[in-house]
Amino acid sequence: MEYTTLGRTGLRVSVAGLGTGGFSQIGIGQSENHAVSIIHQAMDLGINLIDTAAVYGTEHVVGRALKGVARDSFVLCTKASKPIEDASFSVAKILESLDGSLTRLGLDYVDVFQLHAVPPAAYDFVRNEIVPALLREKEKGKFRFLGITETSPNDHEQVMLQKAAATADTPWDTAMFAFNLMDQVARENVFPLTLKNRVGTLMMFAVRSIFARPAQLADTMKDLAAKGLVPADLAASDEPLGFLVHGGGATSLTDAAYRYVRHEPGVDVVLFGTGDSAHLKANVASIMRPPLPDADRAKLKTLFSHLRGVGLEMPPFATARRAAAKAG
């Protein structure tokens, strides 16, 4: 495993980070014991950064897995979200979420506490009202560093993060956001700011189902080609990104996707989720491999840097939560 410093936090973190939400939720659907074993296997592979959230429903399992583990051997990140049924963020509910997370995790503090899925319209309120309240909780020792995450599928230009990372005195020590083979907006809109102001970066959406399901990728390319957004020859192939898989290049499309994100200047940690031991090992192996050939990276930039919102599918628990809120 390779390690890096997470922005200005000074935390030494593995370049591969285990996410406990997403589509897999660390395999909690099989059993809690299975999910605990996935976390332990990840740590055995050298992963020391684990990311969870109150809304994921996995904090209690993460707490079980970390019980008895030396506290200085892992970096734990969690998040508080705006309740889906609420019109806006609430200071009281965010503070309640923080305390609930500590209880479920069985920890005295978390390393990074993040405001989750903040849309552009809510940023000023979050910055002016919630941040001061959270910094008072930080002074009490409940968390070490403050982070923010974007609502990727609903903020394709990453407007919120452009505000959040704009100045050297930003209160945000870390930022979590999307970047992938076909959604490259952060290269121009976010990384210059996070690098300049030393905001640690946690990458999400490196691999979603579009890069793991050939039929979905092919259908997406056909749709994009019909709109004139990608060359027609990509739509004519059942493997439109097959050019990435070759001797000296990637071993698979998912391998290419992880390596593409991992070696982008400005990336600190690539998050991934899995509930499968073999996938865990394969993902870590990909993240640890060298960059893609320069010619392949250049071709991806030429083909897709103008696209917006591709490969940002919401995980099932998030879409189900939204549907339940609308029904209720």
- Which residue, 280, 210, 205, 288, is CA-closest to 39? 280
Cβ–Cβ < 8 Å for 170, 146: no
Cα-only R_g, the chain: 19
Q: CATH number of the domain that 92 lies in?
A: 3.20.20.100
What digits encode the pLDDT tens for the residues 76-132?
999 999 988 888 899 999 999 999 999 999 999 999 999 999 999 999 999 999 999
Q: Is residue 328 part of a domain?
A: no
Grouping H, G, I as helix, E, B as strand and the rest as coil, residue 67 is coil
Q: What's the domain count of the chain?
A: 1
Q: What's the pTM?
A: 0.93
* Residue whose entry in the numeric block shows the structure tokens 């939204």: 322
- Domain span at residue 185? 3-323
Q: Is residue 60 part of a domain?
A: yes
Q: Is residue 201 part of a domain?
A: yes
Distance of CA 317 to the CA centre of its chain: 16
Cβ–Cβ < 8 Å for 120, 89: no
What average pLDDT does this structure show over 47-68? 96
Cβ–Cβ < 8 Å for 173, 166: no
Q: Is residue 122 part of a domain?
A: yes
Q: Is residue 295 part of a domain?
A: yes
> Encoding tokens for residue 1?
């495993």
What digits encode the pLDDT tens for the residues 118-152?
999 999 999 999 999 999 999 999 999 999 999 99
- Give how far Cα 156 sits from Cα of 71, 119, 312, Å: 37, 11, 9
Strand runs labelled E in 29-142: 49-51, 75-81, 110-118
Average pLDDT, the chain: 94
pLDDT at 323 over 70: no
283: confidence class by pLDDT, cuts 50, 70, 90: very high
pLDDT at 326 over 70: no
- Which residue, 91, 167, 104, is CA-closest to 133? 91
Cβ neighbors of 187 (< 8 A, separation 6 or more) are: 179, 264, 305
208 or 78: whose pLDDT is higher? Answer: 78
| Secondary-structure breakdown of the chain: helix, strand, coil percentages, each rounded to the nearest 5 | 50, 15, 35
The neighbouring-strand residues paired with 14 are 3
Per-residue model confidence (pLDDT) at position 186: 98
pLDDT at 285 over 50: yes
Q: Is residue 303 part of a domain?
A: yes
Cβ–Cβ < 8 Å for 61, 28: yes
109 is catalytic: no
315: confidence class by pLDDT, cuts 50, 70, 90: low
Q: Are strands 12-14 and 3-5 parallel, antiparallel or unpaired?
A: antiparallel
Catalytic residue among 56, 123, 258, 260: 56
Q: Are strands 269-272 and 16-19 parallel, antiparallel or unpaired?
A: parallel
Q: Is residue 142 part of a domain?
A: yes
